[in-house]
Chains A and B, each alone.
Chain A
Amino acid sequence: MKIAAKGVESSAKQANPTAVLTWGFHKSGKRAMSTRILGIESSCDETAAAIVADGRDILSSVVASQLDIHRKYGGVVPELASREHLRQIVPVVREALAQAGLSFADIDAIGVTRGPGLVGALLVGVTYGKVLAMELGKPLVPVNHLEGHIHAVFLEAHLAGRAPELPAVCLIVSGGHTLLYHVRAGSGNGDVSAHGFLYRRLGGTRDDAAGEAYDKVARLLALGYPGGPVIDQLAAQAAAAGSGAGAKDGLNFGPVKIKGNTFDFSFSGIKTAVLYYVRAHPEFGPEMEARRTALQEGRRRAADLFPLCSPQTLLLVSNFQTAVVHDLVTRTFAAATETGARTILVSGGVAANSELRDRFMTKSGPMGVNVFFPSRALSTDNAAMIAAAAYPHLLAGDLASSDLNAEPNLRLA
């Protein structure tokens, strides 16, 4: 591997050893007539580049994660993210071309994320994309990051030889977003990857994003950053070991009450309930101190932290996760029922959560709804989804003008 990026190598060593640099690489889509788009993504803490043919065949996808850089801050630090994107973008794009066996001359267009995200981070991709497009004389397509997440589900389905039926309800759930959209096919015939989608916003979080609630609860309980994977794994291990059963009393989260639009979400109350519970139980103190020490020593895997969690703590994180997952699943199915959609698409970093996947799948049969998820690599930020989302816009002629700018608060609908 040529990229001299610490982030790339170290993140490859974590949970998903094969996913980072090599998945989805195949040359079957390299047909003479195909349209190849170079996708570029830099909205948050992943620098990514990918080449996708005809909006659906992934020729290469490279992601350089900055997780190790941001971990000690308990979240993404904008200035550090921008600096790291600057360092990574050129090698990551080169690697994407090399993996696809292509040169710049073989690329038909460039798709770049213009928002939403961190302004400084977005600017790196947008500026690079503009300069590259100008230099190569190729069209530049501005892409909404959220639309990319929706296309990620279709990319995965295509890999499995499936095609989600539209209209669908799409839940985008990550550290920065918790949104529900109604998705229907845009006008035109043929493959959905070519004519794109039309969106209607059904709801979104009123306070914290689901992934943000995980991060805050993990911080409260000294479980490290990011909170999602570690809480998911602790809950799974607790269930497997029958732990938590020895706990004296649990914290039972009631259903989240939402006044007005019932497709909105709120996770702030769940977070506050955890805070109250921890404060009311000073006996959590010593084990939290032990976990802080472990984290400082770099022992941050769930397997390291599991022995340092009392049954009470395991029950707390399990109940927290169940409450968050239950709310996400219930509202998404309710939205599908109300809109008559028979397909649910789930995307974004939290879509990798195992309990979330299980609950969606368990409920899909009885509800008569098909649920589609991307793989873990396509759930989290990547550029293949950006290249795929750019394709229908390229065909429709929605190209960037020379004054294209980053749009940190960009909306999808």
Chain B
Amino acid sequence: MRVSEFVSHSSEETIAKGREIAAGLHPPVMVMLSGELGSGKTTLTKGIISGLGAAPEEDVTSPTFTLVHVFHNHCKVYHVDLYRVENFQDLESLGLEDALGEEAVVIIEWSERFSYRTDWPRVEIRLEHAGGDSRRIAISGLSLENRL
């Protein structure tokens, strides 16, 4: 699987990268975001969701409190945050079966806590702090194969 790496130097660059990623996404697909607090997961998601045309970037905020945000415009996007999810029972309580039952783009922050088995195509994105405002973004699984 191809892994591409990119270093972003600002939140604007991270959002632009998100838009670029969005151009290669075709539902149904899961976007698995991992990386610690403040590594830019929500910022990248702003780019992806606005790039998909599902919502303007300012409407994309952290779903930590309510755990799932849903956007309907143009295409259906679920923005899920598993930061507070500790075990499978918590995960089950989110009702993600609905999201996985339709043609949607499902973006999952703290995806290392996602333990469902699905056969959905997925894109894995790892974000890391790289000093100051810089973030290292490693993307795998996004290639021509899921368009065929």
Give A contacts to B, CB under 8 Å. 73-80, 117-120, 175-176, 204-209, 211-212, 215-216, 220, 261, 264, 268-269, 271-272, 275-276, 408-409
Contacts and interface: CB of A to CB of B under 8 A. Distances in A.
A73 B84 contact: yes
Q: Which 7 A-B pairs have the closest CB atoms?
A: A272-B38, A79-B93, A176-B65, A75-B84, A208-B62, A275-B37, A207-B62
21 contacts: A74-B84, A77-B90, A77-B93, A78-B66, A78-B95, A79-B92, A79-B93, A79-B94, A79-B95, A80-B93, A118-B67, A207-B43, A207-B62, A216-B37, A268-B42, A269-B38, A271-B37, A275-B37, A276-B129, A408-B66, A409-B69
B65 A175 contact: yes
Interface string B54-66: 0000100110111
Contacts of B67: 78, 118
B65 A76 contact: yes
Contacts of A212: 62, 64-65
Contact of A408 (B43, B62, B70, B86): B70
Contacts of B84: 73-75, 77
Interface residues of B, number: 23
A207 B66 CA distance: 13
Interface of B: 36-38, 42-43, 46, 58, 61-62, 64-67, 69-70, 84, 86, 90, 92-95, 129
Contacts, number: 73
Nearest to A267: B62
Contacts of B129: 276
Contacts of A215: 64
B63 to A, nearest CB: 10
Contacts of A271: 37-38
